[in-house]
Amino acid sequence: MGPLYSTFVWFIAGSIIFATAQSMSMLIVGRVLQGVGAGGLDVLSEIILVDMTTLQERPLYLAIFAIPLAGGAILGPIMGALFSQYAGWRWLGWVNLPISALNLALIVTFMRLKPIKSALNEKLRRLDWIGMILFAIGSTSFASPLSWAGMMYPWKSWQTLLPLFVGLGIIVVFGLYENGRLGAAPAEPIFPMRIFNNSTAAVTLVNSFCHGAVIYAGIFYMPLMFQAVFLEAPLRSAVSMLPLCCTSVGFSIIAGVAVDKWRKYRWGIIVSWVISAIGCGLMALWKPDSSLAVTSGIQVLIGIGVGPCFVLLVLPIQASLVNVNDSGIAAGMLVCFRLFGALVSLAICSTVFSSVFMGHITSLGQLPESVAILKDVREAIGFIPSLRVVEISPIMMTGTVDAYRKAMVAVFMMLAGFALVGFMTSFFVKEISIESDELGRQQMVEQK
C-alpha cells in the first residue's frame, strides 16, 4: 500500500505547489510532482486490478473499471474550462485536493492488499534504481529535441541532434542493462526481458505506444482546434469535445463486455486501429463552416477507434504470460509504453504544428500589431484563447484561422500515421486463450 499512498502524497503536494506558485520555476516543480503522482496512480490502479482478478474474468472487470473513467473524461475538460475561464488557472490545482482526499479515504477504508513479506530496506534494495534513472534520462533526452526541432533549432543543428542521439544511446544502454548484457541483470528489472521474448507481448507494447500517441495528443489538440478554427471559448470547446470523450469511454466499456461474452479480442484491436486512422485522417475535412454533424461524426469515429484499446490491449499481453505473478509488471509496462508514446507524440506534434504554422503565417506578409506576436511561433498556442476577440480585418482573420487549421490538420495526419503503425503491427498479435483461472498475489477474497 505504501507506493499507492505515496503517489497520492506526490499528487496532492504537486497540486498545492502548482496552485500557490509565484514563479514559473515553482509552477514547473508543481506540475512535475503532479505528473509523478498521476503517473503512479495510472500505473498502480491497473496493476492492482489485474493482480486481483483472473484472466478469465478480467474483461468484465476492465469494462467496470472504465465506468469511473467516463466521469473523469466527460467532466474533466468541462471543469478545467470552467475554472480557467471564470475562476482562474490556480483552481486547476485546488480542485484536485477534495477529489484526492475522498479517493484516499476510500482506499484506506476499503482496500486490503496483501503485503510482500520482507523488510523495507530489502524492498528498496531490490528496486531497479539504475534502470529507472537510465530510462528517465534517456526518454527525456530523446523526446525533448523532437519538440524544438525546426522551431527553436534546425533539425541538422547540434542542439537537436546531440540530445536526440544521446537519448537514443541511453535507451539502448538501458535495454542492454535490463537484459544483463552489461553484467548481472537487476534483481527486479522494470522491463523484464522475459516479457519481451514473447512476440505477442512485444507487439502489444508497440500498440500501447501508438495508442498513447494518438489519444493523448488528440485530446490535447482537439479543444485547441475548436478554439482556433471555430473561435470558441474554452468552455464551449470542452463541451464540443463531448462526442469524443463519451464515445471513447462508452466503447471501452462495450469492448470489455463484448470480449467477456465472445472471448475474442484480436479482430477488435485490428478494427479499432482502422477506425482510428480513418477518424484522424478525416480531420482534414474540418473547416470554419463545418456543420455539427461533421465535427461530431468524426469525433465519434475517433472515439470508437481509440476507446476499445484501453481494454483490448490489456488482454493479449496478459494471456501471453507464463507466470501469473508477472501480471502486475506486464500491466505496468503497458501503461508505461502508453505514456511514453504520449510523450514522444506530443513532442513530434509540437514540431509539426510549429513548422506548418510558421510557413502559413509567414505567407500572410506583414501582420497587424494586434497579432504581431504570432511572428514568434512559440506564442501561437498561448495566443489561441485571445484569437476570437482580437480586432483585425476579416481577410487577415481568415488567413490567421486558416494557418491554425492547416497546422492542426497536419498534427492529426501525424496521429493517423501512428494509428496506421498500430494497425500494421496488430496483425502480429496472436489470439491466445483467456480462459486461465490462475490468481496472482493480490487475489480477491470473499468477506465473511
Measure the CA dihedral 325/328/331/335, to 10°: -150
Closest CA to 41 of 90, 92, 107: 107
pLDDT of residue 447: 47
Residue type, 422: G
Q: CA torsion, points 152, 158, 159, 165, in degrees to nearest 10?
A: 120
What's at 350, amino acid-wise? S
> pLDDT tens digits for 147-194?
777 667 777 788 888 988 998 999 999 888 888 778 777 777 888 888
Q: Alpha-carbon distance 275 to 432, whole Å? A: 23
User: In the CATH hierarchy, which fold is given to the domain comprising 194-432?
Assistant: Growth Hormone; Chain: A; (1.20.1250)
pLDDT tens track for 204-217: 999 999 999 999 89
State the pLDDT confidence band at 330, using cuts at 50, 70 and 90: confident
Instruction: Find the distance separating the first CA and the last CA of the chain, reported in whole Å.
Output: 23
Q: Per-domain residue ranges for the chain?
A: 128-187, 194-432
Half-sphere exposure of 410 (CA within 13 A, CB side): 19
Supply 361's cell numbers: 503565417
Secondary structure class of 188 (helix, strand, coil): strand
> Three-state DSSP class for 127?
strand
Q: What is the pLDDT of residue 440?
A: 57
pTM: 0.86
341-352 tens-digit pLDDT: 988 898 899 889
3-state SS assignment for residue 118: coil
Q: Residue 366 and residue 396: Cα distance in Å, rounded?
A: 10
Q: Please report where in the chains the cell 500500500 appears, as a residue.
A: 1
Query: For 12-16, 277-281, 431-435, which range has the lowest pLDDT when averaged over its residues?
Result: 431-435
Q: Which residue has the cell 473547416?
A: 287
Cα 124 to Cα 263: distance, rounded to the nearest angstrom: 40
pLDDT in tens, 239-276: 898 899 889 888 988 998 899 888 899 999 999 999 99
What whole-number distance in Å separates Cα of residue 411 and Cα of residue 416? 9
Going by pLDDT thresholds of 50, 70 and 90, the confidence category of residue 444 is low
Q: DSSP letter at 87? A: I
Find out whether 289 and 401 touch, Cβ atoms under 8 Å: no
CB neighbour list of residue 83: distance below 8 Å, 6 or more residues apart? 89, 91, 92, 95
Neighbours of 422 (CB within 10 A): 30
DSSP code per residue over 337-393: HHHHHHHHHHHHHHHHHHHHHHHHHHTT-SPPGGGGGGGSGGGHHHHHHHHTT----
Residue showing cell 523526446: 143
What type of residue sits at position 37? G
Neighbours of 400 (CB within 10 A): 24
What is residue 448's predicted lDDT score, i.e. its pLDDT? Answer: 44
Residue 429's closest CA among 314, 280, 327, 336? 314
Between the CA of residue 236 and those of 70, 219, 229, what are the distances in Å? 19, 15, 13
> Using CA of residue 313, residue 318, residue 321, residue 327, what is the dihedral sign?
positive
- Please report, rounded to a whole number, the percentage of residues in the chain having pLDDT higher than 70: 92
